[in-house]
Structure 1
Amino acid sequence: MGIPGYERRRAEIVHQTELLVSSLTDADLGIQVPSIPDWTLNQLLRHLGHAHRWADTMLRERLPEIDFSRNEAQRVSSYVGETPSVLVPWLREGAASLAEVLGEVDPEEMIAPVDGFPGPRVWSRRMTHETVIHRWDALNALGLPFTLDPEIAQDTLREWTGLALPYAFQRWPAETAPLAGTGTVHLHATDVEAEFVIDFSGQAPVVREGHEKASVAVRGPVVDVLLTVYRRRPVEGLEVFGDRELLDLVLDRVRF
């Protein structure tokens, strides 16, 4: 199973958004989101829609660097009392517009680049998995089942190792400092070909794909593994071999 390509990710932003909004019929958007307790479902949906629009704006204006001042995704406290009839069309519109502009730009163009990588490619992937994780947040809040295509799931896990993990070390150095010089963590999906070894022996984590012996190994279905590293579900139910204290430290200190 390969890594989803650019066109697949463009389509997936719309698809994942549609799966999300289809679960909102008659939903009470004022309920708390257990995985993000500071937000209501209303605010979570506004967060996601604003994230789509932020990426869209940077790509449409072909900004040479990321403009964080335009990101409204964290400023959602004022959104209360909204209904699905208001938010569903708004979410669909934002996802469709983002997919549209991703189809209009060159995937290799250095628009709003991330760590030296072309922005269109990075943002197509980032917004796909942003939508995946927040769809889970919403369905979990509503008590509804969550399923995810295995090809997308393994890419969500891969993106966590390549983007969320190093970001956590850059953004919260004091929190992640205790991990430096510890050991290795092996993430092993049992239902798809997705294995990652995270090496914490240096000052910053190094990720390798493949199977190798590690200080601690975590095995289970890919969706369960990715939800665990995203701190959406407990590690219980997964197979854990080796240094459980190291695993617990990683899950406690690495957030995104």
Structure 2
Amino acid sequence: MGIPSYERRRAEIVNQTELLVASLDDADLGLQVPSIPDWTLNQLLRHLGHAHRWAGTMLRERLPEIDFSRNRAQQLSSYVGEKPSDLIPWLREGATSLAEVLGEVDQEEMIAPLGGFPGPRVWSRRMTHETVIHRWDAFDALGVPYSLDPEIAQDTLREWTGLAVPYAFQRWPSETAPLAGSGTVHLHATDVEAEFVVDLTGSAPVVREGHEKASVAVRGPVVDLVLAVYRRRPVDGLEVFGDRALLDLVLDRIRF
């Protein structure tokens, strides 16, 4: 299964947001979000909308580097008692604006680059999968059935291996230090052609796509693999072969 195009990701930011807001008409935004227990549904939605706006602002202003001071996605304490009618148009506006600016810039332009990669290309993927995961958080809180297109799901898994893993090593070196030299982890989707190996045998992680023997292998439907690596569901119920302790350590120390 191929990697979604830049245009597909632009469209998917809006599509995933539309799927999210379609479930919010009569929602109680004061619900706690089980997967992020410090947040209410109200705060989760504000987090996502601010993330869209932050990425859009950096791209629109063509910032030469990421400006974390403009990110309001963690400043959530004031959001209490809002209504879906307040948030639905606000969420749509942020997603649409981000998709528009992604269409106005060259995807290879070095605007707000992340990990040495051009910002438009990276943020189109990052905000697609930010929305994918937080839509699951909201649906889980609301008890709404969740589904995800297989092409998008395998790209969510690809992003976790290729961006979340090295980012965690860079951002939280003391937490990830026990992983250096530990072994290899193979993630194998059973319903789509998606296999990734995270090689932790050196001082820094290396990711490869494809099938190979590893210290521990995890097999299951691609959406379940995505939810497991993002710590949204337990590994129980997936097929695990090999060093389960290594898998547990990786999932405990890699966060994104």
For residues 131-163 of structure 1, what are the alpha-carbon distances to aligned partners after superposition, in whole Å with 9 as ceiling and x for unaligned? 000000000011111100000000000000011
Partner of 2:178: 178
**TM-score, length-normalised on structure 1?**
0.99
Shift of 1:203: 1.5
Q: Does 1:167 align with 2:142?
A: no
Q: Can you give the 5+ residue segments of structure 2 that lack an aligned partner in the other structure?
A: none
Shift of 1:54: 0.3
Q: How many residues align?
A: 256
Letter paired with 1:248: D
Partner of 2:78: 78
Name segments (4+ residues, structure 1) moved above 6 Å: none
Letter paired with 2:67: D
Q: Does 1:144 align with 2:144?
A: yes
Distance 1:66 1:5 in 2: 23
Partner of 2:64: 64
**TM-score, length-normalised on structure 2?**
0.99
Partner of 2:18: 18
Partner of 1:244: 244
Letter paired with 2:120: P
Partner of 1:44: 44
User: Following superposition of structure 1 onto structure 2, how do residues 198-209 of structure 1 map, counting pairs within 5 Å?
Assistant: 198-209=198-209
Partner of 1:195: 195
Aligned-pair identity (%):
87
Shift of 1:126: 0.4
User: Following superposition of structure 1 onto structure 2, how do residues 214-253 of structure 1 map, counting pairs within 5 Å?
Assistant: 214-253=214-253
Partner of 1:116: 116
Distance 1:253 1:115 in 2: 20
Distance 1:250 1:109 in 2: 33
Q: Does 1:35 align with 2:27?
A: no
SS of residue paired to 2:10: helix
For residues 191-232 of structure 1, what are the alpha-carbon distances to aligned partners after superposition, in whole Å with 9 as ceiling and x for unaligned? 111101111111111111100000110000000001100000
Distance 1:123 1:111 in 2: 10
For residues 160-196 of structure 1, what are the alpha-carbon distances to aligned partners after superposition, in whole Å with 9 as ceiling and x for unaligned? 0011111111111111111111111100001111101
SS of residue paired to 1:250: helix
SS of residue paired to 1:81: coil
For residues 102-137 of structure 1, what are the alpha-carbon distances to aligned partners after superposition, in whole Å with 9 as ceiling and x for unaligned? 111111111111122111111100000000000000
Letter paired with 1:40: T
Letter paired with 1:217: A
Cα root mean square deviation, aligned: 0.7
Q: Can you give the 5+ residue segments of structure 1 that lack an aligned partner in the other structure?
A: none
Report which stretch shifted further, 96-105 or 109-118.
109-118
